[in-house]
Chains A and B, each alone.
Chain A
Amino acid sequence: MSASKKPARGSVFFHEVVGATAVDPHLEACLQCGTCGGSCPSGNDMEHTPRTLFAMIAAGMRETVLRSNTPWYCVSCYYCTERCPQEVHITDVMYTLKRLAIKEGFSRQSSAAQAPAFSETFMEHVERYGRSFELGLITRYFLRHRPLDTVKIAPIGAGMLRRKRFDLTPRKIRQIDQLQAILARADELERSP
């Protein structure tokens, strides 16, 4: 056994989560104190508090965890990470859970089904132009995924345009080919670890 590797003890799902996180999140150190759940600004709206999720990960409850809306309600405020007495990289774990949920197709069934769509629409623009394109993002995301809400958001869009806070056309970076090549290689690396 090499000193740097973690022992294979623990649920399969636990190791899946740790393995899918770029830097060791120290998840095994969680002592279930609840500081994270207490700190979370959207804690009241989550189906499970972050702490509960970590207990479930340890228990190997893969599907329950990946179907939970919790990671999608994480607003990346980093309060939990800052305050965790065991230095668990909680916010990073939330990102990992989002990715795993998308991969498994569970995310669309959670009560925060729109969230991945928003991220994905955002990414599409960045992949195409190299920069984000807010007007395009908002219109496309709402039209495609939340058509009924489009009327609600329309006045805001109009206000933004009036104040010249939206561009009508996307801005494209010069070396978009270079960026796309890098992203393609990154994608390959992620698929074949």
Chain B
Amino acid sequence: MSNDQDQIPPISPPHASPDEERVGVYVCHCGSNIARTIAVEDVAVWAEQQEHVVVARDYKFMCSSLGQELIEQDIQAKGLSRVVVAACSPHMHERTFRGACQRAGLNPYLFEMANIRELTSWATDDREAATSKAKAQVKGAIERAVLQEPLEPLFVDINPNTLVVGGGIAGLTAALELADSGYHVYLVDRDSSIGGQMAKLDKTFPTLDCAACILTPKMVDAANHPNITLMTWSEVVAVDGFVGNFSVQVRHKPRYIIEDLCTGCGTCIEKCPSRVLDQHFEVGLGYHKAIDRNFPQAVPKYPVIDTTHCIYFQRGKCRACQVVCPTNAIDFTQKETFEQLEVGNIILATGYEQFDARRVPQYGYGRLANVFTSMEFERMVNAAGPTSGQVVLRDGVSAPQSVGIIHCVGSRDKNYNEYCSRACCMAALKFAHLVHERVPDAEVYNFYIDIRAAGKHYEEFYHRVLEEGTHFIRGRVAEVTDAARGPGEEGKLIIQAEDTLIGKQRRIPVDMVVLMVGMEARHDSRNVASTFGLGCDFEGWFTERHAKLDPVVTMTEGILIAGACQGPKAIPESVAQGSAAAARVAGLIGRRTIKLEPVRASIEAAACSGCRICNNVCPYHAIVFHEAIKISEVITALCQGCGACVAACPSAAITGAHFTREQVLSQIDGLLWDMQPGVLVLA
């Protein structure tokens, strides 16, 4: 250890007697996950020879009940005062082993974990290097453990109100579950109506029940529920606080309608002279008025004025809607407003967007009139859509005699998105069925790489569509063209693909092409993630705490995710996640208080120079300055233990519990145990 160290003032009371600590070290095989690359027995034998260590063992699965009992027995029989487990990430099992310590009467904060799986055995195939790195990690953990101090957890009250962001099927489900359990929910959606993507759909696979029939009752329930405050046309702009006590700022965009007066009669919509293409709900296939709602059953029923197309907003004339409104509900002067909400938990259910088919020019979308996207087709078959449910070509009248459905557009492709969008195979099968239903004589061709029909009753649905006489051609489509090569192709769209089951190139002339565009994360998902302080993966999907074991919880306590914002999924899974997230929140609220890690900063009053630097550094506004005595103090309940102030304090007056300077430096020392002492310089 360098001499510089001695000049740093002591920041926690000198430790009683680290020399007397009795450490037990447990090295886990994790089946073969760790043992395959690390010589775990070696590490254990070596550990037993280290200072402070009274026992070291390796074991197949430390997290098993037998593994945990090993620790408990040693604590009691051998009088261990510190426990080190070298295994997986603390995210996985720190809680498990702390529990074991506690059961054996040892303060759980006297336990330390070395992650030799994610950081070591999974990171290399070099057995020798991995083994020596594992030893270094264990040494660091031992050195740190002996300096650890017993801590008591903190308890804070949980605000029973919950914020749900996004009113698609996932968010709606979560909101209704919580509201039905008696808890208050604020349901915020940026759109003018709740319902999300599902509201655009016609029938839903695999059972073919109509989307509106199963969705609109839920929408209405949400609007009428005494425990739900519905905030549409609104967005969350800022989030403060932490689990149990979030403070959220919501921006309400102006609708230009006084909601208390509007009866939803629709007269204004009828009379508005400005009719424009609806790129949003009708995905460009239909029109809406400058004052309108997404669809007649929209919830809430109030329309919204689209100022970019409203003649009054653009040219100062018109006001037709205001004139005809029987209740004087139109208010052109409305401004945006802000509202502050206090909630204990937040569920994000912001859903997905469609891949832009224009990015694949060889499929001709936008160039070739009769190439449609899946959502355009969905609106077309919807009885409430632009063609009242008729399947027609772009001319609006002729029914196609042949339809080609192209799978995997923008998905399963390294040029666009590598992942599979999961729901589009089933939607494609649904479309094939719907074409047969609406245009009985039409031939339908599905071009696919693999049919992904893994869900309850999905495969059966596939079989049903096969029996209906749909043609399945296994081959990803190369291109769609109107350049005919011969007489049979004139005036048609030609789909060119290899029929891989025959091994021959085929050109299938059709009247209509439907592109099964993939799902993508919302274009602003990264910004949303940063507002709420959670992670996003490379593609923009929100990151769950554990892909298998904790799919609706994020790394940020109190922030949960549900539905397609976590990754592509169909309605059944979205609903399951919505319910799961609600159950997690309800469980937490039921406990009334939540146990927090006692990892908090504290300021040693005698060392504080009163410079106030930490006051502004703290992102949680947890530090107050006592003007009278010119000293700063941390409000423990607000502190999140981020450590920013610890690093910022020029007088080294701030200590982060469980991360004291001594503890961290001796861990580093331990990690570098195999370096020569003379050479070691700690910056």
Contacts and interface: CB of A to CB of B under 8 A. Distances in A.
User: Touch between A and B in complex, CB under 8 Å?
Assistant: yes
A51 B497 CA distance: 12
B505 A40 contact: yes
Residue with the highest number of chain A CB atoms closer than 10 Å, among B412, B414, B478, B497: B478
A40 B496 CA distance: 10
B506 to A, nearest CB: 8
B421 to A, nearest CB: 13
A163 B474 CA distance: 50
B449 A33 contact: yes
A109 interface: no
A130 interface: no
Interface in A20-37: 31-37
Interface in B498-524: 498-500, 503-505
B505 A38 contact: yes
A38 B415 contact: no
Contact of B503 (A35, A39, A52): A52
A37 B498 contact: yes
A87 B416 CA distance: 11
B449 A37 contact: no
A38 B497 contact: yes
B449 A49 contact: no
Interface stretch (A78-86, A97-105, A165-173, A174-182): A78-86
A44 interface: yes
B504 A39 contact: no
Contact of B497 (A31, A34, A48, A52): A34
The CB with the most chain B CB atoms within 10 A, among A32, A48, A52, A79, is that of A32
B359 to A, nearest CB: 13
B448 to A, nearest CB: 9
A33 B476 contact: yes
Interface string B457-495: 000000000000000001111110000000000000000
A116 interface: no
A156 to B, nearest CB: 25
A44 B408 CA distance: 24
Interface in A151-166: none
Nearest to A43: B505
A103 to B, nearest CB: 26
Contacts of B478: 35, 37-39, 79, 83
B414 A85 contact: yes
Contact of B498 (A38, A79, A87): A38
A85 B476 contact: yes
A65 to B, nearest CB: 14
Contact of B479 (A32, A33, A39, A85): A39
A33 to B, nearest CB: 4
Nearest to B126: A1
A49 B476 CA distance: 14
Contacts of A39: 478-479, 496
Most buried by A among B413, B497, B505: B505
A131 to B, nearest CB: 37
Contacts of B475: 33-35, 37-38
B539 interface: no
Contacts of B415: 83, 85, 87
A50 B412 CA distance: 20
Interface residues of B, number: 22
Contacts of B362: 83
Contact of A85 (B412, B474, B505): B412
B503 A38 contact: no
Nearest to A86: B414
B180 interface: no
B108 to A, nearest CB: 39
Nearest to B477: A38
Nearest to B496: A38
Contacts of A49: 498, 500, 503-505
B362, B496, B498, most chain A CB atoms within 10 A: B498
Interface string B382-409: 0000000000000000000000000010
Contacts of B557: none
A79 B479 CA distance: 10
A32 B500 contact: yes
Contact of A48 (B408, B496, B503): B503
Contacts of B496: 38-39
B125 A1 contact: yes
Contacts of A85: 408, 412-415, 476
Contacts of A37: 475, 478, 498, 500, 503, 505
A34 to B, nearest CB: 4
B125 A44 contact: no
B205 to A, nearest CB: 23
Given A43-B505, A48-B503, A85-B415, A35 B476 contact: yes
Interface in A99-120: none
Nearest to A2: B125
A40 to B, nearest CB: 7
Interface in A36-64: 36-40, 43-44, 48-49, 51-52
Nearest to A48: B503
Contacts of B477: 35, 38
Contacts of A40: 505
Nearest to B412: A85
Nearest to A44: B505
B414 A87 contact: yes
Contacts of A31: 412, 449
Given A49-B498, A49-B503, A34 B414 contact: no
A51 B498 contact: yes
A79 B478 CA distance: 9
Nearest to A42: B505
A52 B500 CA distance: 8
Most buried by B among A38, A43, A86: A38
Contact of B500 (A1, A51, A87): A51
Nearest to B503: A52
B393 to A, nearest CB: 24
Given A43-B505, A79-B478, A87-B414, A34 B500 contact: yes
Contacts of A36: 498
A52 B503 CA distance: 7
A38 B476 contact: yes
Contacts of A44: 504-505
Nearest to A88: B414
A83 B478 CA distance: 8
Given A34-B449, A34-B500, A35-B478, 13 more contacts: A33-B449, A34-B474, A37-B498, A37-B505, A38-B479, A38-B496, A39-B478, A43-B505, A44-B505, A49-B498, A49-B500, A51-B503, A87-B415
15 contacts: A1-B125, A34-B500, A35-B476, A37-B475, A37-B498, A37-B503, A38-B475, A38-B497, A43-B505, A44-B504, A48-B503, A49-B498, A51-B503, A85-B414, A87-B415
Which 5 residue pairs across A and B have the least CB separation, nearest first? A38-B478, A37-B498, A34-B498, A85-B413, A34-B475
Interface of B: 125, 362, 408, 412-415, 449, 474-479, 496-500, 503-505
Interface of A: 1, 31-40, 43-44, 48-49, 51-52, 79, 83, 85-87
